[in-house]
């Protein structure tokens, strides 16, 4: 999964109607923030993705219950 896909997947999770783990007032703004980060990455060189979107990716990975790709391959 690319960083953009991770960000967009987390945004979709936040928009699911049955989500109870996040305050409803925060879900949509957070989803928008994650999608904007994904859009910015589309214009960036792939080697910069982890640096440019470190915070959004950390949030997305917490929502998706995933680890960064390099950690997942070492587990």
Which pTM does this prediction carry? 0.78
The single residue listed with the structure tokens 């219950």 is: 65
In contact, 7 and 41? CB cutoff 8 Å:
yes
Q: What is the pLDDT of residues 14-43, one digit of tens each?
A: 998 887 666 778 899 999 999 999 988 877
Q: What is the pLDDT of residues 36-73, one digit of tens each?
A: 999 888 776 676 667 778 899 999 999 999 987 655 44
Total structural domains within the chain:
1
* Model pLDDT, residue 60: 95
What is the chain's percent helix, strand, coil content, to nearest 5? 75, 0, 25
Parent domain of 49: 3-74
In contact, 64 and 44? CB cutoff 8 Å:
no
């Amino acid at each position: 999964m690319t960083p953009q896909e991770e960000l967009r997947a987390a945004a979709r999770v936040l928009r699911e109607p049955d989500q109870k783990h996040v305050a409803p007032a925060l879900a949509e703004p957070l989803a928008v923030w994650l999608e904007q980060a994904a859009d910015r990455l589309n214009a960036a060189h792939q080697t910069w993705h982890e640096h440019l979107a470190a915070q959004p990716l950390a949030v997305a990975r917490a929502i998706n219950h995933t680890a960064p790709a390099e950690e997942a391959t070492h587990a």
